[in-house]
Chain A
Amino acid sequence: DGGITQSPKYLFRKEGQNVTLSCEQNLNHDAMYWYRQDPGQGLRLIYYSQIVNDFQKGDIAEGYSVSREKKESFPLTVTSAQKNPTAFYLCASSRRQDGFNGYTFGSGTRLTVV
């Protein structure tokens, strides 16, 4: 079945550590996205990518980095510069950026700072 796989489901980060969240899709979608979800704040866009080797900052990109070396993969690195990384992270994809066929989401990664 086609879909988006996020791993790991739970991730613990120590102070000053960089961690990478994985997002893989087998839907042949061109566009991929990373969102952060905090209680009471809704979903906020971190980064998005329309095509391979290209990505754009979203509303809250500071302290995060991404790469898009393959169409299927869009990993997110949470760097030590992100001062409050504890949150639920969601990856999504769409066939086109305009979402003509809608958006598909992964099951999320919960990141906790210890």
Chain B
Amino acid sequence: KQEVTQIPAALSVPEGENLVLNCSFTDSAIYNLQWFRQDPGKGLTSLLLIQSSQREQTSGRLNASLDKSSGRSTLYIAASQPGDSATYLCAVYNSGAGSYQLTFGKGTKLSVIP
């Protein structure tokens, strides 16, 4: 069974700092990986989607990388801002016939201090 781990569970950084959030998964036979952002009491907002054949995706100050062989993905946030404060979740979809197999990590709660 796929397991997704996000470390650290919480992170506090000063404004302007570059930071990296980590996501690891136990089964490398993934179809894709998606990073989400969740603000308190809100739904999930998609940030980046990486297909299994891709190594990275970029959107503005965000860059997500994927290393299937080592079971790792990182989300890099450049020049952090207080508005980046939120919980960041990664989710992986495992390839294979039959049942639905999307697995979420428990998230990293990011606080950017002004």
Residues on A facing B (Cβ under 8 Å): 6, 31, 33, 40-43, 45, 48, 50, 56, 58, 88, 90, 92, 97-108, 110
Contact = CB atoms under 8 A, between A and B. Distances in A.
Contacts, number: 59
Given A48-B100, A98-B95, A99-B93, A105 B105 contact: no
Nearest to B9: A40
Contacts of B32: 98-100, 102
Contacts of B51: 100
Interface of B: 31-32, 34, 36, 41-46, 49, 51, 89, 91, 93, 95, 99-100, 102, 104-107
Given A45-B102, A100-B31, A105-B36, 14 more contacts: A42-B104, A43-B104, A48-B100, A50-B100, A98-B32, A98-B93, A99-B31, A100-B32, A100-B51, A102-B49, A105-B45, A105-B46, A108-B41, A108-B42
A45 B106 CA distance: 14
B34 A99 contact: yes
A102 to B, nearest CB: 4
Given A98-B95, A99-B102, A104 B46 contact: yes
Contacts of B99: 56
Contacts of A31: 100
Contact of B91 (A90, A103, A106, A107): A103
B42 A103 contact: no
5 contacts: A33-B100, A33-B102, A42-B89, A42-B105, A110-B41
